[in-house]
Chains A and B, each alone.
Chain A
Amino acid sequence: MVFLLVCVFIGVILFEVPSLIRQKHWRELIVFLILLSIAFVMAFLETIGVKIPSPAKGLDYLMEDILHLNYH
């Protein structure tokens, strides 16, 4: 599974990066790599079974258990 994930990400990098380097779009390259590393870390942790805290669940908890603003 992890091998498959790494293959997919290498494929994405090979698909996007060469044209960015050829056009000298360095800013785009940096943003792309930052976002892709965030995506890789999240997907990797999800694949090996680590529980990542979800922002949606956090907001639900805030609304329901702390502010008590939900419908009953």
Chain B
Amino acid sequence: MRLERGEISSSQLTFLISCFIQGALFPLSLAFPISKHDTWLALIAAFIIGVFIVLIYIALASRFPGKNIIEINDLIYGPYFGKLVSLQYVYFFIISLSGYLWFIGDFVLTFIMPETPIIVIMTMFTFICAWAVRKGIEVIARISVIFVFIPGIIILLTFALLLKNMEFTNFLPVFEVPLEDFIQSTNIIMHISVCEVLVFLMVIPYMNKPKQAKRSVLLGIISGGLILLTGMIRNIAALGPLSEIVTDPSLIAVSLINIGKIISRLEVLVSMAQILLLFIITSVFYYAAVLSVAQITKLRSYLPVVIPIGIIGITLSLISYDSRMQFSYSTMYITPILSMHIYIVIPLVSLIVAKVRKLPQRNGRN
């Protein structure tokens, strides 16, 4: 029995993924200290590699049409070992949810409301996300159609307004950083932005035309990636060497805008766009976590587990991250390699096992 009754169209999936990729602009500030002004090259490299990894996910999804990743694991590995693999995905979804919750709390705390306790911000944010998740993926996908244009327009607008402050000599010399740092930066960008499309393995089965999944996913990644690249070029060109030091290059770069003393202090636009995008990302992770828990425990409806998972996510984010330094260190040096297990190893092994076992069998019980 299907848990989710809603359906999304292929263009809605494109917008959802585009939102998802664009939302990585703020977390990408973690890659700046590593690869400095060559980060835009690392971004391009990460997207080229990432597209190939995403093709694995799409191959997996199109091999089992109408099945989400938990059901696919059950089919490939059998009911018991499959649960073990699925539990890793559930852990990954919940820990990403808690990471993003902590991220939005820290963002609001640092730049907008410094005196508020972080738990208040996280609780309010989780409440809105829980509301969206209870309404189903259809509603989240429809919101994303509106939300995808706002940050894109804001990035293009601020790019145009900042042209006066930009110095394109900031990009020179190209390829100055050592290769090791470049690889690390590429890995960071991959695991923050493009590889997280893995979570859409929980969403793709609910498309009304599953055949178009490949096209819409790739279109979403490319359009989101181009806007991400625009934002990154804006930051590097406007800030230069400063972009490696500041906490959030986007906000600092946009705060440089000052045209005739009338158009200034536009950073509120950037933070607005950031909160909208983080809302979409958090909702999708929340939805995936809830749906996978409901799928593993074989429920008839996923609504009852929404609120408990939200509370677990908030508590996990409170106990997992103490400070921004610890969060940054963990995201920059440890999780890129740790998450390769989830992003690359398990999907690739699943695909190979499915090919070897010749799944799905046409005339069998599977």
User: Taking beta carbons and an 8 Å cutoff, which residues of A are in contact with B?
Assistant: 12, 15-16, 20, 25, 27-29, 31-32, 35-36, 38-40, 42-43, 46, 51-57, 59-60, 63-64, 69-72
Q: Which residue of A lies closest to B304 (CB)?
A: A32
User: Please, which residues of chain A bring their CB within 8 A of the CB of B153?
Assistant: none
8 pairs, A vs B, C-beta closer than 8 Å = A32-B304, A35-B293, A39-B312, A39-B315, A42-B311, A56-B99, A59-B338, A63-B334
Q: Which residue of A lies closest to B302 (CB)?
A: A28
Q: Which of A16, A28, A54 contacts B300 (CB 8 A)?
A: A28
Given contacts A54-B319, A60-B334, contact A28 B95 (CB under 8 A): no
Quick check: A55 and B312 within 8 Å, CB to CB? no
B131 located at the interface, meaning its Cβ lies under 8 Å from any Cβ of chain A in the complex: no
Within B32-66, the residues touching A (CB, 8 Å) are none
Main SS of chain B's interface residues? helix
Quick check: B308 and A60 within 8 Å, CB to CB? no
| Distance in angstroms between the alpha carbons of A7 and B293 in the assembled complex | 26
Main SS of chain A's interface residues? helix
B162 located at the interface, meaning its Cβ lies under 8 Å from any Cβ of chain A in the complex: no
Given contacts A16-B307, A27-B300, A31-B305, 5 further A-B contacts (CB under 8 A): A16-B303, A55-B316, A60-B335, A69-B337, A70-B333
| Nearest CB of A to B297, in Å | 5
| Distance in angstroms between the alpha carbons of A36 and B306 in the assembled complex | 10
User: Please, which residues of chain B bring their CB within 8 A of the CB of A63?
Assistant: 334, 337-338
B110 located at the interface, meaning its Cβ lies under 8 Å from any Cβ of chain A in the complex: no
Q: Which residue of B lies closest to A38 (CB)?
A: B312
| Distance in angstroms between the alpha carbons of A46 and B98 in the assembled complex | 15
Given contacts A27-B298, A29-B304, A70-B333, contact A46 B315 (CB under 8 A): yes
Closest 10 CB pairs of A and B: A35-B308, A39-B311, A32-B304, A56-B320, A42-B315, A54-B320, A54-B319, A36-B308, A70-B333, A71-B333
| Nearest CB of A to B361, in Å | 30
Contact with A along B69-100 (1 / 0, CB 8 A): 00000000000000000000001000100110
| Distance in angstroms between the alpha carbons of A72 and B316 in the assembled complex | 27
| Distance in angstroms between the alpha carbons of A71 and B31 in the assembled complex | 13
Given contacts A28-B304, A55-B95, contact A42 B330 (CB under 8 A): no
Q: Taking each of A32, A35, A69, A71, which has the highest tally of chain B beta carbons within 10 Å of its own beta carbon?
A: A71
